Amino acid sequence: MSDDDATTDLEAAFAAARTALEQADALVVCAGAGMGVDSGLPDFRGDEGFWNAYPPFKALGLRFAELANPRWFEREPSLAWGFYGHRLQLYRDTAPHDGFRMLREFGARLPNGMFAFTSNVDGHFQRAGVPADRVCEIHGSIHHLQCTRASCRAAIRSADEVVLHVDPSTIRALPPFPTCACGTIERPNILMFGDGEWRSDRTDEQEATLSGWLQKARGKRIVVVELGAGVAVPTVRAFSEALTRRYGATLVRINPREPLGPPGTISIASGALAALRRILPQ
């Protein structure tokens, strides 16, 4: 394919996405890690991407999937809370890019509204004004805590009051660490790798709300705008595609590297914010 052909195809995809959105009754926004890149958040794609964001872990030979594991909260809490404490502060300090606002405002104009489904744990949809009861955080939230003791049934709690002191040269946190009422160290309420002890209570409630919303939108013109969701962790892509099968939704897949999808997908090889500026009706 020539560059001219690629440009023509991209313009055609933008036009098709705009038409679908102009005719939509309901919007589902499905977001993966690539959604945060335009906000200035690091791209953890591949080991080198992770190590570029956290150089001290390269010296230790730790990859993202190895470090994002609940065992570190017991073995080396300074390491575990150094990593997650740094990310917590990063997400607090980073403003969601303008695409979040654009999606919220467009969704609010639709007869059946908007719902966000995301694997991101940064809380940026809520930060951008999307109502909390219209967000499903399928991998949990860094802004909430759970006890690391499996038998403890203390409720998941907010991390809003948590302040951690992290040495930027080592990415290790200094005590005290967040502690449950039972006296055991806490961890973020996030689904990690090799994680058999994640408390899904909060996400289960969000999924139930989303399911009820989808049932009300059944038979309507549902458009799914998927942004920055890759194939390495396919949770978001699988959900987007399931909506096309179960609800006849139109899928607009926006991804600079992996935009292709099943037949009928409107594939846009672009970053999230640039594409949203081209496709959202003004």
User: Under CATH, what is the fold of the domain 3-279?
Assistant: Rossmann fold (3.40.50)
Domain boundaries defined on the chain: 3-279
- Residues comprising the chain, all counted: 282
pLDDT of res. 281? 81
Q: How far is CA 132 from CA 114, 203, 259, in A?
A: 12, 12, 28
Q: Which regions of the chain are under pLDDT 70?
A: 1-8
Q: What are phi and psi of 69, to 5 degrees?
A: -140, 135
pTM of the predicted model over 0.85: yes
**DSSP H or E run through 137:** strand 135-137
- For residue 3, the model assigns a pLDDT of 44
What is the reported pLDDT for 1? 47
